[in-house]
Amino acid sequence: MNLSNLNPQQQAAVKYIDGPLLVLAGAGSGKTRVITQKIAYLIQTCGIKPGHITAVTFTNKAAREMKGRVGEILGKKDSKGLIVSTFHNLGLRILRKHHAKLGYKDGFSIFDATDSLSLIKGLYAHDSSSNVDDAESARWKISAWKNDFIAPQQAIATADNDNDMRFAMLYERYQRQLKAYNAFDFDDLILQPVVLFEQHQDALQYWQNRMHYLLVDEYQDTNASQYQLVKLLLGVNARLTAVGDDDQSVYSWRGARPENLALLQEDYGNLKLIKLEQNYRSAGRILKCANQLIKNNPHTFEKQLWSDLGYGDPIRIIECGSADGEAERVSVEISTHKFQKRSKFSDYVILYRGNFQSRVFEKYLRELQIPYVVSGGVSFFERTEVKDVMAYLRLLSNQDDDTAFLRIINTPRREIGASTLEKLGEYATHRGISLFAACYEFGLQERLNERAINKLQGFADWINRLADQANGTDGVAVARSMVLELGYEDWLKDQSSDLAIAERRMENVNEVLDWLTRLAKNGKGESLSELVAHMTLMDILERNNEEQQTDAVYLMTFHAAKGLEFPYVYMVGVEEEILPHRTSVMEDSLEEERRLTYVGITRAQKELTMTHAAKRRRYGEDVDCEPSRFLSELPEDDIVWEGGGRKLDEETNKIRGRAHLDSLKDMLA
């Protein structure tokens, strides 16, 4: 293989296969190139068959990009059988093969966060001592326990206050109910494969024999369950390349443990460390600021980013009078800067700590007729009509899915009232069966009248008929027929304020069905239940729908910007209690907030501007704001301060004036 396009450290990382390897990859250091080239090296030079290599990352977008790059190097034929997936997709693959060993039936469902919350609320409804308002907190707590690989009994044994004990007891009931529904939640896709491997050595041996080499991207974002899964898959041979950067670990709120990088050293005494410190993205001055900021955090591994792209312009820090003043200043600057530089709108990004900050920037961008895209809008899967159709497909695949049953039993309306459903739910809970199964129970006649039972059984008969057809013939065709039989398009027309809206919503329904067809053609599953499981996982993983590429200014949070890069970056609201966040200040846990700031700085390729407001309106009154403490940690010689009564030096003013005049002359010419 020709590795001449890699620097010496990258080449060393690609070629080292004698033991476990940690590649400490700084921002913009070409880690994806290293992983893809290493996969090709393992296949072409080392003779490992693609089917024995697995690469794991955290997002579908990263997995697609990685697989695409490998395909470009090797061609589709030579990469056939290679597994490149997210952790959760890998977990789903394992559970598909071995779910019976855990006591699950074929056609299991996958619950997303909304489904889990609905289940918890249902459990609370039957417990007079619980407050249904706590349901969201309980869901987060249960998710955290699963990420930390803590079973219900462990949670009960270690609970040190009444609140945790309540949640732990709920966790046990929640898990029992999931099993009764023949369902896994999103966290189970990691937790349950670990449970499987610990209880069934034959299943573990199967996957260890299949994986001759494992590559894990973004290792600093792994939680305890993911770390345990990797450790089990590796076995004693530890044929591993882990790529990560502890300075970019910003997901502790969802269980990520940057200390997992250090744990590798403890678990594997022969671990080799290779640092990628050459940055191919940013100007030298930007990297100097990033290095000086992040050195204030404690480190297990030291590194220093550098670049040969030139030193670049000073970092600008602008004080604005108010939140409106800040938004107006940034919007005008982008308009003027684009005019001067002949750049594109998509070269600019406005980064903020919380989504609430975007609204005022949107207002001023609209006023200046600047196109923009807000990352994290309503995703395709969050649309009501899409969730309805997905619920029908889920129930078709798994009749024990109570969450799907409750969503669609009256959509469109079937004259099945809330009282009927409540009595059905009480009976099903008493009998320990699903709502669907309860529809056919003889004992239900003691609680419901004949008309209500006929309505329920009529719906259940219809679902059973379609499910039988889907098992015996083309499941995709059955799904299309189901939507027609439902009269869903007429239902949308009745529910929508005008015909155009109804038509747009029906287009979304048809997109779900077309997607189902494409998945079947692409071999993503043989049965309808397998296709639906794949779709549900995509739903969960791609909540933040990827916007189409367009020439527009991007607005996004620091978290959403991770992995991206832009020529011109505006970091806004760089103030105490925003960045760092108020909660982190109160808890004296500033390290992750500093890493988040570091991530923001290292998104910039050419120019970086930071802004903060002197006052902000909170709870109906103006309050004074302090600049973020992180600004004082940047190198003074590389910063130009503006606003707050400060005047630009004469030379800078002249340079800007000349640039503006030159731009006007060019336009007139």
548 is catalytic: no
Cα(100)–Cα(534) distance, integer angstroms: 18
Catalytic-labelled residue, pool 166, 281, 288, 603:
603
Residues 6+ apart with CB under 8 A from 58: 86, 87, 217, 218, 221
Catalytic-labelled residue, pool 115, 218, 385, 593:
218
364, 328 in Cβ contact below 8 A? Answer: yes
CA distances from 546 to 149, 496, 541, 549, 596 (A): 31, 26, 11, 9, 22
DSSP string, 221-267: G--HHHHHHHHHHHTTT--EEEEE-GGG---GGGT--THHHHHHHHH
345, 553 in Cβ contact below 8 A? Answer: yes
Task: Spell out the long-range contacts of 404-408 with Cβ–Cβ below 8 A and sequence spacing 24 or more.
Answer: 404/109, 405/434, 405/435, 405/436, 406/118, 406/435
Nearest-CA neighbor of 180 among 16, 405, 371? 405
426 is catalytic: no
Cα(113)–Cα(540) distance, integer angstroms: 8
Token output for 486: 């439902």
Q: How many CB atoms lie within 10 A of CB 627?
A: 18
Return the C-alpha torsion angle 447, 451, 456, 460, nearest 10. Answer: 130
Nearest-CA neighbor of 364 among 620, 555, 575, 642? 555
14, 37 in Cβ contact below 8 A? Answer: yes
Cα(181)–Cα(439) distance, integer angstroms: 15
Token output for 64: 């697609």
Cα(28)–Cα(93) distance, integer angstroms: 31
Catalytic-labelled residue, pool 11, 32, 429, 457:
32
| Burial state string for 208-221 with b = 16 or more CB within 10 A and e = fewer than 16 | beebbbbbbbbbbb
31 is catalytic: yes
DSSP string, 414-440: -S--HHHHHHHHHHHHHHT--HHHHTT
Catalytic-labelled residue, pool 9, 10, 31, 288:
31
| 657 burial via Cβ count (<10 Å: 0-12, 13-18, 19+) | exposed
Catalytic-labelled residue, pool 228, 248, 605, 609:
248
77 is catalytic: no
Tell me the β-bridge partners of 320.
613
32 is catalytic: yes
Catalytic-labelled residue, pool 217, 575, 577, 607:
217
Half-sphere exposure of 590 (CA within 13 A, CB side): 17
307, 279 in Cβ contact below 8 A? Answer: yes
388 conformational bin, left if phi > 0, alpha if psi -120 to 50, beta if neither? alpha
Strand order of the β-sheet with 272-276 is 83-86, 53-57, 213-216, 240-244, 21-25, 272-276
Token pair 């302090």 is found at 626
Cα(318)–Cα(326) distance, integer angstroms: 9
Token output for 621: 């009154």
Residues 6+ apart with CB under 8 A from 15: 3, 41
Catalytic positions = 31-32, 217-218, 248, 603
